[in-house]
Amino acid sequence: MGRLVYGHAGFEIPMDDRPLAHLQVVMGSKLRRHESFLFSWANGVANGSGRGAAWIHPSVPLLFLYSGNGHPQLNREWLDRLIELANSPQGLHIVDEPAPSATERPHGDV
């Protein structure tokens, strides 16, 4: 289980490495363009259930900490959907990963 760590106080959001790798690409893309956005997540039962949301800003530290050493293969359709959400008024949140299309070529490492 990896972690997304946000802010100077080090607020941590636990999540699997695969969605974390996709979020790294999407969030990195937004922050490179100095774009702020809303990110929301669901807390698992182990973390008290419920949900949370944070305003992500380029001036605030953001860390992607992975539990494994590998680089998950990226799903282009999932990235496109997450980018679409990050640019929407409701903001970025993790949605189920779509099955890759038969014509999709493997994407490189994160």
**pTM of this structure:** 0.84
Task: Give the per-residue pLDDT at 47.
Answer: 62
Q: How many CA atoms lie within 13 A of 90 on its CB side?
A: 8
pLDDT digits (tens, 9 = 90+) for 27-38: 999 999 999 999
pLDDT digits (tens, 9 = 90+) for 84-110: 999 999 999 999 999 877 555 555 544
Instruction: Say whether 99 sits in a helix, a strand or coil.
Output: coil
* The Cα angle at residue 10 between residues 96 and 38, in degrees rounded to 5: 45
Task: Give the per-residue pLDDT at 71.
Answer: 87
**Residue 98 CB partners (closer than 8 Å, separation 6+):** 75, 77, 78, 81
Task: Give the number of other Cβ atoms within 10 Å of residue 34's Cβ.
Answer: 9
Task: Give the per-residue pLDDT at 110.
Answer: 42
